[in-house]
Amino acid sequence: MHEMQKIVGFDVWHTQLPVNARRDHGIGSVEHVVDVVFLRLSAEGGECGYGEASSWSVFTGSAEASYAALDRYIRPLVVGRRLGDRAAIMADASKVVAHCTEAKAALETALLDVQGRISQLPVWALLGGKCRDSIPLSCSIADPDFDKDLRLMERIKADGLRIIKLKTGFKDHAFDLMRLERLRKDYPEFAIRVDYNQGLHPDTALRQVLDVASFEPDFIEQPVPAHLRSLMAEIRARCEVPLLADESVFGPEDMQLAIDMQICDGVSIKIMKSGGLTRAQTVARMAANVGLTAYGGDMFEAGVAHLAGTHMIASTPEITLGCEFYQASYFLREDVLQSPFLVKAGEVQVPQSAGLGIAPDVEKLDHYAFVRSK
Ligand SMILES: [Mg+2]
């Protein structure tokens, strides 16, 4: 009985992965490297499972906090436990350290991966079965040097992508309108989404959002700071383009508040915000229950987290707006997976093999690690 196998190994890497460009968002910038924490769980039969905590200090929290949550607080309640007790382990992890949702996502990913590998089932099968074999991919346009992004547009167009998300609100309104006009004119085949990452000042937010809405993007995401929920509700009421919540909604608790206050028409769902794959599914179902749409968002992730998100979305029919797992293909100088994260004709391909489907290359984790514990 594989469910009776005990977890005997717990390894954590804090890595810094080099990136190929600068990305500016309303809440901050990323340049040179992204900090990503990896977890490996080993079962007594010899199988391993991997998870990833992709933090961003200005958004979800720091990589150092993810590392400490796993290494110091979560490790003692995992080692020696049985794989079949996944729900109990996750419930204990939710109590032993507050927040640190990325660490909890890494833990659940690794538990599902090792169980899937032992039982020869893909992670999506452990999450209820799948509803799709591929997911439309959106790539973010977020370089302060727009010419560099135009070269990225040519590359993703040739690769078959047909969705972009324009990151706005980090420079000035004229820069946002100029880019929207240019993208609409030169790339009519692309669906455009807009994401402010909380970047607008409350005094001018409504006017600027309405200007941007005249370009008829699919949706406009999180124009104002996460806690300004009444303002989100006001903008939603005044704007005809759907308003998405991202930073305002981490897990199911925030989703309930968003529903009660009517702050959005849809929600960006990320396993790194919700604290795991099953909690992400809960957020999607809560949204769908009241007629809200859902999008598969992500952080600055590597391939392990992309795979976890892919399996989650593959088993969650309520997430209908595609995903943004572009970093492994278009942002990292080198991903950590043993074979490439698979994107074909603009769609992420859902793995059919056991566990997450692809394991990381441990030599790469060691190479990029500056702290490691076991
Ligand atoms: Mg966002």
Q: Ligand 1 centroid to 354 CA: how many Å?
A: 31
Pairing of strands 243-245, 220-221: parallel
Over the range 121-157, which residues count as b (16 or more CB within 10 Å of their CB) and which as e?
A: ebbbbbbeebebebbbbbbbbbbbeeeebbebbeebb
pLDDT score of 371: 82
Q: How far is the CA of 60 from the centre of ligand 1 (A)?
A: 12
Distance 165 CA to ligand 1 centre (A): 9
Cα–Cα distance for residue pair 216/218, rounded to 1 Å: 7
Residue 299 Cα, ligand 1 centroid: separation in angstroms? Answer: 9
Instruction: For residue 55, give every residue at least 6 positions away whose Cβ sits within 8 Å of its Cβ, in sequence order, or none.
Output: 35, 36, 37, 61, 62, 63, 65, 66, 102, 272, 299
139 CA to centre of ligand 1 in angstroms: 12
Q: Ligand 1 centre and the CA of 289: distance in Å?
A: 22
Confidence (pLDDT) at 229: 98
Alpha-helix residue ranges (DSSP H) falling in the chain = 63-68, 86-96, 101-119, 123-126, 146-158, 173-186, 205-213, 229-238, 252-261, 271-274, 277-289, 303-314, 327-330, 362-368
Go through the domains of the chain in sequence order and give each one's CATH number.
2-120+361-373 (3.30.390.10), 126-349 (3.20.20.120)
Other C-beta atoms closer than 10 Å to the C-beta of 50 total 29
Q: What is the pLDDT along the chain (374 residues), one digit of tens a residue?
A: 667 899 999 999 999 999 999 999 999 999 999 999 999 999 999 999 999 999 999 999 999 999 999 999 999 999 999 999 999 999 999 999 999 999 999 999 999 999 999 999 999 999 999 999 999 999 999 999 999 999 999 999 999 999 999 999 999 999 999 999 999 999 999 999 999 999 999 999 999 999 999 999 999 999 999 999 999 999 999 999 999 999 999 999 999 999 999 999 999 999 999 999 999 999 999 999 999 999 999 999 999 999 999 999 999 999 999 999 999 999 999 999 999 999 999 999 999 999 999 999 999 999 999 888 87
- Counting every residue written for the chain, the total comes to 374
- Give, in order, the Cα–Cα distances in Å from 8 to each of 75, 81, 82, 138, 360: 11, 8, 9, 39, 19
Residue 297 CA to ligand 1 centre (angstroms):
7
Lookup: tokens for 89: 């382990």
pLDDT given at position 138: 98
- Could you report how far apart the first and last alpha carbons of the chain are, in Å? 27
Q: What are phi and psi of 133, to 5 degrees?
A: -105, -10
Say what the pLDDT of residue 309 is. 98
Look at residue 137 in the predicted model and tell me its pLDDT. 98
The dihedral of CA 323, 324, 330, 335: what is its sign? negative
CA 219 / ligand 1 centre spacing (Å): 11
CA of 189 to the centre of ligand 1 (A): 23
Q: pTM for this structure? A: 0.98
Picking from 228, 277, 229, 219, the residue whose alpha carbon sits closest to that of residue 251 is 277
- Contact call for residues 266 and 242 (beta carbons, < 8 A): yes
Query: Would you state the structure tokens that stand for residue 322, as one six-digit string?
Result: 């595609």
**Bridge-partner residues for 193, per DSSP?**
165
Ligand 1 center to 298 CA (angstroms): 8
User: How many angstroms separate the alpha carbon of residue 148 from the centre of ligand 1?
Assistant: 21
Is the separation of the CB atoms in 67 and 14 below 8 Å?
Answer: yes
For ligand 1, the distance from its centroid to the CA atom of residue 343, given in whole angstroms, is 21
CA distance 1 to 12: 27
**For position 374, what pLDDT does the model report?**
79
Q: How many CB atoms lie within 10 A of CB 366?
A: 11
